[in-house]
Chain A
Amino acid sequence: MTAALLDIERLQVRFGQTVAVADASLRVAKGEAVGIVGESGSGKSATVLAAMRLHPPGASVTASRLSLDGHDVRTLPDRRMASLRGGFAAMIFQDPLTALNPLMAVGRQIAEVVAAHRGLRGGQARAAAILLMERVGIGDAAVRAHHFPHQFSGGMRQRVMIAAALAGDPALLIADEPTTALDVTVQADIVRLIRRLRAERDMGLVWVTHDLALMAGIVDRVVVMYAGRVMETAPVDALYAAPRHPYTVALLASLRRDGVQAEASGAPVPPGGCAFAPRCPARMARCDTAPPMLRAGGTEAACWTLAA
């Protein structure tokens, strides 16, 4: 059996006293597209950054498994890690303006990734960069390659980011809210582009967002996070049709009814209880101890309602 593209088990990420990720497990099989959804601060970014060993120096990361392509991310030597990054797994970010170096022409920023992972030099790397820009739909690429990030629109900048991400021909693309900073119409363009690229090259995808609606056409499976924990993971159709965790239900309801979320109804839980319990309409006495991931059909959810 080939190793999973990404395999995370019992991940915990802390910033001093702040627990960004309390307990997250997540597996991405070859060619699979997984969405991570959750509200702001639920630990989505912290999870994927830890998987790439890109977490800030102040963070402490523990896990019972944390691997890319079967390699343990925690112990891999820096040079091996660098060749995995951008080569095996590429990443794009929310704000393409700050994520690109403002003082380097975009063609060079793409070409240097080509050089790092494909061993091409000079003119060959530049030519490859222009081809990549064309593939992500940047017109007049040979000229645009000489332009700087501030000379592009937001959507075009994100295309540049994607071109650089594809430069190492990755098996896995991790996209951390790649459309949040963009206009709605541009969002749709980027979503279409990523879907097309995935179809062309059988590339695995981790798509981080707080927008459940956006993932419908992109991912195979969804991981719902809340307060640094995975609440539910299910095939995307099952999640929409029959959400099992009350938090997922609330999330979907807020989508349909414009906003209103479950109210904080109850008393706080004791330490070790379910983090969602204070806002949960289905709260019961057992919620004072956090439930394990329970399985029902293709869905897994951390909720006692599945045990009934």
Chain B
Amino acid sequence: MRGRTILLRCVQALAVLLGVSVASFAVAHATGDPVTLLLSPSASDAARTAMRAHLGLDRPVTIQYALFLQHALGGDFGQSFIYRQGVAGLVLARLPATLILAGSAFAIALCVGMPLGVLAARGGMAAAMLELFSLAGLAVPAFWLGLMLVLLVAVELRALPVDGYGGLSHLVLPALTLSLQGTARLSRLVASGMRGALRADYIRTARARGLSEARVVWVHALRNVLVPVVTMAALELGDLISSAVVVEMVFAWPGIGRLAVAALQQRDFPLLQGTVFIAGLGFVIVNLLADLLCARIDPRIGLAR
């Protein structure tokens, strides 16, 4: 990809980020008035007005947004109403837990979904089984699977801890739960891509040159389905983020998903804005990286766009 194209992509990413800032601000303010939750119902009107002024909520919405944006660009998301701490610090403290969870789920989806897809594309009995598995995987909601795994593996078999955060044993169940849908979707995408790729002329050429079947399939054909796979995997991350909220609740996983839910329940504007904005930032960065990766895989991309 050429320098100018990369620059264009970065500008696009910034525009998307601006949109994310508006969305996170609007979402927070749509939850209602935080003062009713922060003060007791019997609090006087004067106390309410004072509280509102203290939180900066008495100013026009546009000014509030401008201030939020100005501070956010400097990495300052304000003070959490409920924790009475800086939002940036709160989010950063929870971020590793979420990254570990989402990263593991992502890795499982890639390491399991891709080979399954390749095998499914070869047809036969295995393909039919995989088709069934992936359909089931798509149909099962994350929270239900999570609860079933907790009941079976943790409560009945006592093989793994029910919830919490710590070593690898705590990670297994939530990561598996979170990865299931991505694995299923990815394997289907790879399978359909491989079915097309294996019919291509260059595959016949590769066979005509006496390359091993493994090389034909795993190098020549698979490389040609990587671009849609990378693109989808990056978009999949958005889904992963929203599922992570549910999974973190089910497994009491101390990540930013749970933080966001707490913020939502308490109408903690700064915290909610901060978590949504950082999730959006991560999404934008990952998609930008995915674009760059696609251009590395397929040298024709830089020319076409």
Contact = CB atoms under 8 A, between A and B. Distances in A.
Contact of A91 (B208, B213, B298, B303): B208
A150 B202 CA distance: 13
Interface string A70-88: 0000000010001111110
A136 to B, nearest CB: 15
Nearest to B205: A99
A104 B207 CA distance: 16
Nearest to A91: B208
A164 interface: yes
Contact of A103 (B210, B213, B299): B299
Given A148-B300, A150-B300, A101 B223 contact: yes
A118 to B, nearest CB: 11
A82 B213 CA distance: 9
Contact of A85 (B209, B299, B300): B209
A101 B210 contact: no
Given A103-B298, A103-B299, A93 B211 contact: no
A116 B211 contact: yes
B208 A54 contact: yes
Given A98-B202, A148-B299, A150-B300, A103 B209 contact: no
A90 interface: yes
Give the bracket for the number of chain A residues in contact with chain B. Answer: 20 to 34
A112 interface: yes
A211 interface: no
B207 A103 contact: no
A112 B215 contact: yes
Nearest to A84: B210
Interface string A103-122: 11000000011001100000
B220 interface: yes
Most buried by B among A82, A90, A164: A82
A140 to B, nearest CB: 18
A95 B201 CA distance: 9
Contacts of B303: 150
A103 B211 contact: no
Contacts of A101: 202, 205-206, 220, 223-224
Interface residues of B, number: 22
A54 B204 CA distance: 7
A150 B204 CA distance: 19
A203 interface: no
Interface in A266-289: none
Contact of A102 (B202, B207, B212, B213): B202
B200 interface: yes
Interface string B268-305: 00000000000000000000000000000111100100
A113 B212 CA distance: 10
A228 interface: no
A150 to B, nearest CB: 6
Contacts, number: 79
Contacts of B223: 101, 103-104
Contact of B201 (A93, A164, A167): A93
A101 B226 CA distance: 14
A47 to B, nearest CB: 15
Contacts of A85: 207-210
A83 B210 CA distance: 6
B226 to A, nearest CB: 8
Contacts of A165: 209
Interface in A143-157: 148, 150
Contacts of A91: 205, 208
Interface string B78-94: 00000000000000000
A219 interface: no
B201 to A, nearest CB: 4
A95 B205 CA distance: 11
A148 B206 CA distance: 16
Contacts of A102: 202, 224, 298, 300
A215 interface: no
Given A112-B215, A148-B299, A148-B300, A98 B201 contact: yes
Nearest to A98: B201
Interface in A27-69: 52, 54
Given A91-B205, A112-B211, 8 more contacts: A84-B210, A90-B208, A91-B208, A99-B201, A101-B206, A102-B298, A103-B223, A113-B210
8 contacts: A78-B213, A90-B209, A98-B202, A99-B201, A101-B205, A112-B211, A113-B210, A168-B209
Interface of B: 200-202, 204-213, 215, 220, 223-224, 297-300, 303
| 9 interchain residue pairs of minimum CB distance | A86-B210, A85-B210, A86-B209, A98-B201, A91-B208, A101-B202, A82-B210, A99-B205, A113-B209
